[in-house]
Amino acid sequence: MAKVDATNASKGYKGNKQSLPTKLCSVCQRPMTWRKAWAKNWDEVKYCSEACRRNAKQATSSR
Ligand SMILES: [Zn+2]
């Protein structure tokens, strides 16, 4: 009901000197910010976490 995501993010976000690329997770639709660990395969990153990756696999394998 309370939609505080947008305001929260803009208030709590510090240090945006460099605008890092962001994406939405394919599963939970949360924005995820570029990480150094993803530098190599940023294009292939679709999920914010291992949990979401598993979720996605389950969802697709059921059909
Ligand atoms: Zn996710």
pLDDT tens sequence across 30-62: 999 999 999 999 999 999 999 999 999 886 655
For 16-21, which contacts have Cβ atoms below 8 Å and span 24 or more sequence positions?
A: none
Cα 41 to ligand 1 centroid, rounded to whole Å: 17
In the reported structure, the alpha carbon of residue 55 is separated from the centroid of ligand 1 by a whole-number distance in angstroms of 9
- Burial state string for 33-46 with b = 16 or more CB within 10 A and e = fewer than 16: eeeeeeeeeeeebe
pLDDT at position 40: 95
